[in-house]
Amino acid sequence: MTDPWSPWIAIGMLTVVVFASRYLGYALGSRVPEQGRLRRLLSVLPGCAIAAVVAPQIAMMGPFQMAALALSGLALWFTGQVAIGLLLGLGMLIAGAHLGF
């Protein structure tokens, strides 16, 4: 039998970690010099975090999902509008789900 308090403890710990990391980011971010290795490292971290989350999902995609991603990427590339890219990619995925792809 599992402990009924475990989920609440986990939620509390996650909350503390998120707020602590945000506070430390604000508190220490202004102390990082404008030039240097640390500033360059911190500037690429958001992209690395997104890639770490998205890459496993891309590896598990089928051909139809890859086509929807390509359509979304091309729409974003040519229009420069994120909303149009999202709408086209999601529209293709929704249509494919209804058509049995």
In the chain, the percentage of residues whose pLDDT exceeds 90 is: 48
What average pLDDT does the structure give for the chain?
A: 88
Residue 81 banded pLDDT, cuts 50, 70, 90: very high
Angle at 31 between CA 28 and CA 32, to 5 degrees: 95
Confidence band (pLDDT; 50, 70, 90) for 1?
A: low
What's the confidence (pLDDT) of residue 69? Answer: 93
How far apart CA 39 and CA 32 sit, in angstroms, is 7
Q: What is the pLDDT of residue 48?
A: 80
Domain ranges of the chain: 1-31, 46-101
Residue 93: CB atoms within 10 Å: 18
pLDDT in tens, 5-38: 888 999 999 999 888 888 887 887 778 788 888 8
The DSSP call for residue 3 is: -
Question: Model's pTM, two decimal places?
Answer: 0.54
